[in-house]
Structures are given as structure tokens and as C-alpha cells.
Structure 1
Amino acid sequence: MIPFTQDITFFYATIYGGIIIGLLFDIHRAFKANFKFMKYCSFFFDALFWSLTTIIIFITINAIESFELRYYHFVALFIGFILYYNTISKFILTIMNKIISLITNLFKKTIKYIVSISNNLYYVIIYSLHFIFDIIFYIPNIFLASRKFIKRKSLGKLKIKKRV
């Protein structure tokens, strides 16, 4: 038989598992509040939350008593969750919302700058290529056309002199 003091130790340790579940619940709420796609895929993310909760419960009970499940484990998990939810949940949730909004704004600004830089780089490359093609194709044509024009003018002047 397990001594009573050891049962109390296990009870308190299971309360910590309930606090971890409360923290996981706040993470889930923060992501659901900040990302619209999570509202559309709610079933999947709720199933993921409950799977992680089940894993945390199993890990907690395995670490404490090697899967000797007792009724007070469920009571302690519930007490831990309620303690967390009624004390620091609002504070943690606001911090998570601020962190998520900071990261998403940073990500959006980074993408915006990358797009603007690539857009400017696109125009630099296109205009450089255009300039190179102008040099390669149009400038020799200008010289050839001016040479033909000069020949025509010079032949025209000669013809005028011959007629007179």
C-alpha cells in the first residue's frame, strides 16, 4: 500500500499536468483567434488538441505512477486546469495573442519587402536587358540607316549638279 504522503505528492504532480493542459488550451484558443483558416478546419485542430491532451495525460500518469490510474488523477487534472484557467489564463492568452500578431506582422512585412525588392529587381533586369538589346540591334541599324541616308543625300546632290 502506498503511503498517504506519496499519494499527495502524486496528486500535486497531476495538478501540474492539468496546468499544462490549460496552457495547451490557451495555445489552441490563441491560434484559433488569430488564424482564420483554423476556424474553417476546426474539426481537425480540435482533434489535434484532444490528441495532445490525451498524450499529456498518459505521460503525466506514466511518469507519476506507471499507469496506475486512480480517481484522484482526474480530480487533480481538473483542479489544475481550473486553477490555471482562473488565475493566469487571461494573462498568458494576451501575451500569446501579442506574440502571434507580432510574428504575423513581421512575416507580412518581410513578404511585402521581398515582393517589392523582387519587383524592383525585375524592372532593373528587364530594363538592363532592353538596353543591351538596344545596343546590339538598334544602334547598328541607326548607323546603317544614317549611312544610307547620307549616301542618298550625297547621290541626290550629285544628281542635282549633273542636271544643271
Structure 2
Amino acid sequence: MTPFTQDASYFFATIYGGIVVGVLFDIYRVIKSNFKFIKYCSLVFDALFWILTTITVFITVNAIESFELRYYHFLALFIGFILYYNTISKFVLAIMNKVLYILTALIKNTTKYIVSILKNLYYVMIYTLHFLFDMIFYIPNMIVLINRGVKRKTLGKIKIRKKV
């Protein structure tokens, strides 16, 4: 039989597990409120949340008492969750929303700048290739056509002069 102080320490340690469950719940709320595609796949993400919560509870109980599950573990998990939810949940939620907003803005701006750089690089490459093709095909053709035109004009003038 375990002494009361040891049971009390297990109880308070399990309260921390309830706080972790509260943090997981806030993370889930932040993600669900900020990403629209999660609202459409709500069933999948709800199941994922509960799987993570179950794993957290099992890890907490295993770390504390090697899976000797007692009634006060559920009470302590509930108390830890309620303490977290009623005290610091609003602040943690606000901080998580700001961090997520900053991260999404950073990712969007980085993507926008990378796309603009790649777009400009594309145009530089296309115009360079266009210039090279002009140099290779168009300019020599112009030179050949000018030479043909000059030869025709000079031959035409010579013929006209011979007739007169």
C-alpha cells in the first residue's frame, strides 16, 4: 500500500497531464479557427486530437504509476484541464494566434518573393534566348536580304543604263 503523500504527488503530477491536454486543446482550436480546410475535414482532425489526447493520458499515467490506473487520475486530469482552461488559456490562445499569424504571413511573403524572383528570372532567360535567336537567325537573314537587294538594284540600274 502506498502512503498518502505518494498518492498526493501522483495526483498533482496527473494535474500536469490535464494541463497538457488543455494545451493540446488550445493548439487544436487555433489550427481549426485559422485554416479553412480543417473545418471541412473536421472528423479526421477531431479523431487526431482525441488520439493525441489519449496518448498523452497514457504517457502521463505510465510515467507516474506504470499503468496502475486509479479513479483519482481522471479527477486530476479533469481538474488540471479546468485550471488551465479558466486561468491561462486565453493568454496562450492569443499568443498562439499571433505566432500562427506571423508564421503564415512569413510563409506567404517568402513564397510571394520567391515566385516574383523566379518570374523575373524566367523573363530574363526568355528575353536572352530571344535575343540569341535573333542574333543567330534574324540578323544574318537581314544581311543576306540586304545583299540580295543591293545586287538587284545595282543590276537593274546597270541594265537601265545599257538600254539608254
Sort the TM-score into its range (normalised by shorter chain): over 0.9
> 1:72 deviation in Å?
0.6
Q: Shift in Å at residue 118 of structure 1? A: 1.1
Matched, 1:67 2:53: no
Shift of 1:156: 1.2
**SS of equivalent to 1:2:** coil
Cα RMSD (Å):
0.6
Q: Partners in 2 of 1:45 and 1:80 — Cα distance? A: 23
Is 2:150 the counterpart of 1:146?
A: no
- Aligned equivalents of 2:63 and 2:79: distance in 1? 19
Amino acid at match of 2:69: L
Q: How many residues align?
A: 164
CA deviation after TM superposition for structure 1 residue 47, in Å: 0.4
Deviation track 1:111-151 (CA, whole Å, cap 9, x = no partner) reads 11111111111111111100000000011101100100110
Same amino acid, percent of matched pairs: 70
Structure 1's consecutive aligned runs of 4 or more residues displaced over 2 angstroms after TM superposition are none
Q: Find the aligned partners of 1:119 and 1:39 in 2 and give their Cα distance.
A: 34
Q: Which residue of 1 aligns with 2:120?
A: 120
Cα offsets for 1:75-96 (capped at 9, x unmatched)? 0000000000000000000111
CA distance in 1, matches of 2:66, 2:145: 94
Q: How far apart in 2 are the matches of 1:101 and 1:115? A: 21
